[in-house]
Chains A and B, each alone.
Chain A
Amino acid sequence: MKLIDEYLQKIEKELQSVERKIKAEEEGIVIEVKDGVVILEGLDGISFGELIEFEQKQIGFVIDINEFNVGAVVLGDYLSINSDSKARALGHTFSIPVSQALLGRVVDSLGNPLDGSAKIAAKEFYPVEKVAPGVVQRIPVSSPIQTGIKAIDALIPIGRGQRELIIGDRGTGKTTLAIDTILNQKNENVICIYCAVGQRNSKVASIIDLLKKYEVLKYTIVVTASSSDSAAMQYLAPYSAAAIGEYFMDKGKDVLVIYDDLSKHAWAYREISLILRRPAGREAYPGDIFYLHSRLLERACRLNKKYGGGSLTALPIIETLEGDLSAYIPTNVISITDGQIYLETDLFNAGIRPAINVGLSVSRVGGNAQTKAIKSVSGKLKLDLAQYREMAAFSQFESELDEETKKFLKRGTRITQVLKQKKNQPYSLSEEVLVIWAASNGYLDTLSLDKVEDFETKLLLDLKKRGKSLMDRINKNKVLDKKDEEELKKFVTDTLSV
Chain B
Amino acid sequence: MKISRDIKDNLKKYLDELLKNEKEKVTLISAYTLNSDELASLYQYIPRLKGSQLNFVINKDLVAGVVIKIGSKVIDLSLRGQLNRLRDYMYEID
Contact = CB atoms under 8 A, between A and B. Distances in A.
Contacts of B70: 24
B89 A45 contact: no
Contacts of A18: 89
A380 B92 CA distance: 62
Contacts of B51: none
A28 B89 contact: no
B74 interface: yes
A15 B72 contact: no
Interface in A383-430: none
A353 interface: no
B18 interface: no
Contact of B73 (A10, A15, A22, A45): A45
Interface in A112-159: none
Contacts of B74: 24-27, 88
B11 interface: no
B31 interface: no
Contact of B71 (A10, A22, A23, A44): A44
B73 A24 contact: yes
Contacts of A7: 93
Contacts of A62: none
Interface string B68-89: 0111111111000000001001
Contact of A11 (B71, B75, B77, B89): B89
A24 B89 contact: no
Contacts of A44: 71-73
B90 interface: yes
Interface residues of B, number: 14
Grouping DSSP codes into helix (H, G, I), strand (E, B) and loop, the A interface class, with mixed when no group exceeds half, is mixed
A23 B81 CA distance: 12
B93 A25 contact: no
A191 interface: no
Contacts of A26: 72-74
A486 interface: no
B86 A15 contact: yes
Contacts of B86: 15
A27 B75 CA distance: 10
A467 interface: no
A14 B75 contact: no
Nearest to B94: A119
B89 A25 contact: no
A257 interface: no
A42 B70 CA distance: 11
Nearest to B73: A24
Contact of B72 (A14, A23, A27): A27
A4 to B, nearest CB: 12
B65 to A, nearest CB: 11
Contacts of A15: 86, 89
B82 to A, nearest CB: 9
Nearest to B70: A24
B3 to A, nearest CB: 25
A23 B71 CA distance: 15
B77 A43 contact: no
Contacts of A22: 75, 77
Interface in A5-39: 7, 10-11, 14-15, 18, 22-28
Contacts of A23: 75
Given A22-B77, A25-B76, A14 B89 contact: yes
B8 to A, nearest CB: 24
Nearest to B93: A10
A23 B77 CA distance: 9
Interface in A35-89: 42-45, 88
A42 B73 CA distance: 9
A66 to B, nearest CB: 14
B75 A24 contact: yes
Contacts of B92: 14
Contacts of A14: 89, 92-93
Nearest to A25: B74
Contacts of B93: 7, 10-11, 14
Nearest to A119: B94
Interface in B38-66: none
Interface of A: 7, 10-11, 14-15, 18, 22-28, 42-45, 88
28 contacts: A7-B93, A10-B93, A11-B89, A11-B90, A14-B92, A15-B86, A15-B89, A22-B75, A22-B77, A23-B75, A24-B70, A24-B74, A25-B73, A25-B74, A25-B76, A26-B72, A26-B73, A26-B74, A27-B69, A27-B73, A27-B74, A28-B72, A42-B71, A42-B72, A43-B72, A44-B71, A44-B73, A88-B74
Interface of B: 69-77, 86, 89-90, 92-93
Given A24-B75, A45-B73, 5 more contacts: A14-B89, A23-B75, A27-B73, A27-B74, A43-B72
